[in-house]
Structure 1
């Protein structure tokens, strides 16, 4: 996977999407930046970050992903790959449903995915060295570029969704003390049922990751 690194971008996600649409870049590809000024967060929020934190977006063809991975499960899948990588480096990071990175009860990053034609673009923001008020940083020392190289290398031999989900099913229990948002409503995860495709059944509603 080619890695294109920039000193600063408004958003690695927006940049990669536009470059793919214009056929200036081809998948598989990764775009990273040392700093980001107008990053995309969940539910339309911004994810603006300082130098030293992780700001990357990865573009991959859907056809190269595991055959048992459904589109609506992709955010969990791609986020859990990063979580597993960080855990292998000694971090106690965990993944809150569906795509937020946490240490204990504090958010340290997240994932957002977009479908661009037959390609998926996955943006990852992670506080490695600094965080705004109310957030925290990862508990290990790793540089953005080295982490990006290690993450990009994972796409040479991807595990199945079944393999990832078997681990995430256990980790999901940490999410039960939190809430999620669905149709602009705040919904407790305490009694949610995690289904085989990564969606949740809660209060008679079925909820998918939409970002």
Structure 2
């Protein structure tokens, strides 16, 4: 996949959209070392100071895919399978459903997926040389463990994500589900999940993993399992969002 590198943009998702609007065919990646207006889910601010990785893939939206939401989980698995070998036995990488990356329980990466017409924009931010402060969760930067450049990481993520995407397009998420669950943060532990955007309503239970459809499952004290397809999760033992 072709990668276009920038020193600075407002947002790699926004820049990718401008390129498509200008006639560029989807099937490319945009990378920046700094974002001035990075975004996360629910329009939350995503900080990308100079030296961190901001990366957006622009691809054609696959037609007639009822499993399209599992693209988020596929992206999480692809990122995990780049970061864990990179960090080796020096740190543990886990996937916080659906696709945040945690290193030793601290957030190092987030993903924002947007659809505009027939194009999907998959934005990935990775704390490479610095980590944000004044946020309501613990953070981590890769520089605390490993030395890698933005260009090297962008190329590694793009290559692995593209290969995992090809598999997902052919066979869906089901064949990837066991690998995903093996690296799922909080599996077998007591979790709570928000039921609304404002994080005012919550459900609790023991996480039993995710389904091939991408739903996270929580079991109550009697063993009844409820599936959820959206929400933010916390581990109950800390009640601290990550």
Relative to the length of structure 2, the TM-score reads: 0.74
Could you tell me which residue of structure 2 aligns to residue 169 of structure 1? 181
C-alpha deviation, 1:50, in angstroms: 1.2
- Give 2:112's aligned residue: 112
Partner of 2:216: 200
1:126 aligns with 126
Distance 1:166 1:127, change over 3 A: same
Offset of 1:208 from its aligned partner?
2.1
The DSSP-based 3-state class of the residue aligned with 1:140 is: coil
Higher RCO (C-alpha 8 Å, min separation 6): 1
TM-score (norm 1): 0.84
After superposition, the Cα gap between the structure-2 partners of 1:143 and 1:61, relative to the gap in structure 1 and judged at 3 Å, is: same
2:154 to 123, 148, 155: 148
Task: Answer whether contact 2:12 2:32 (CA < 8 A) is retained.
Answer: yes
User: 2:236 aligns to what?
Assistant: none
Matched, 1:159 2:167: yes
For structure 1, the 5+ residue unaligned runs are none
Hey, what's the Cα distance between the residues in 2 that align with 1:75 and 1:18? 23
Runs of 4 or more, structure 1, over 6 Å off, are none
Aligned to 2:195: 182
2:27 aligned with 1:25, yes or no? no
Over the aligned positions, Cα root-mean-square deviation in angstroms equals: 2.8
What residue is the counterpart of 1:49 in the other structure?
48
Q: Decide which structure has the larger Cα Rg and report it.
A: 2
Deviations 1:121-166 (A, max 9, x none): 1100010110122421123222111111122223156334233211
Number of matched residues? Answer: 208
The corresponding residue for 2:36 is 37
Q: Specify the alignment match of 2:140 in structure 1.
A: 136
